[in-house]
Amino acid sequence: MLKKLLPFVEHVLKKPVWDCRMCGQCVLHSTGMTCPMTCPKTLRNGPCGGVRENGNCEVIPDMQCVWLKAYDRKVYLPLPTVWKDHFNELRPPVDMRLQGSSSWINLVTKRDQQTPAGWSTTDESH
């Protein structure tokens, strides 16, 4: 029951504020409270090279680049330091199976931290 109800509640609460896309693996805290899934290229690790001179998006010219907003908010919002420290972490590929599920449940069960067996973020060569 909770599994069915929570995605609904989460969507109702997060959609108006963050335009939540229900990817099921929320990273808002580490991206200046800006949802990277609202980037037309769904980039989770920073902006593409097409950001316009006025700071707007390559794809949607009258929208500010999501990552510009994220970076500004990271710099200026009074967010906890550990959240700010996570801004430059390498976020893993999205697990498409979690689309539509509640990231709250996935957080509690740690399901959102599962990555493919080969994924590692440490480069021993430097």
Partner 1 sequence: MSQMREKLENTNEVVFTSEFPALDGGGMAKVEKNAARLAPWFVGVNATDNPAAHAHASNTASAIAMKMHGIEPIMQIVCRDKNRLAIQADMMGAALHGIDNISLLTGDDVTAGDEPESRRVFDIDSTQAINIARIITTGKYLSGRKIDPAPDFYISAVENPAAPPFDYRIERALKKYRAGAKYLQLQICYHSDRLEKFCAGVAKIAPDLKLIPTIVLVKSAKPMSFMHDKVPGIDIPQDILNRVSSAADQAEEAYKLTVELAKHAMTLPSVRGLHVTDFRHDDSLERFMYDLGQKPRN
Interface region with partner 1, contact rule CB under 8 A, candidates 1-9, 20-28, 52-60, 100-108: 52-60
Residue ranges of alpha helices (H) inside the chain are 2-18, 66-76, 81-85, 103-108
CB 22 within 8 A of CB 7: yes
Q: Cβ of 3: how many Cβ atoms within 10 Å?
A: 9
Residue type, 13: L
Cβ at position 38, least distance to ligand SF4 in Å: 8
Cβ at position 101, least distance to partner 1 in Å: 18
Residue 72 sits at φ, ψ, to 5 deg, of -60, -45
Establish if 62 lies at the interface with partner 1 (CB under 8 A). no
Identity of the residue, 15 or 41, whose beta carbon is nearer to partner 1 in the bound complex: 41
Q: Which residues of this chain interact with partner 1, rule CB under 8 A?
A: 40-53, 55, 58-59, 61, 65, 67-68, 71-72, 88, 90-94, 96, 116-121, 123, 125-126
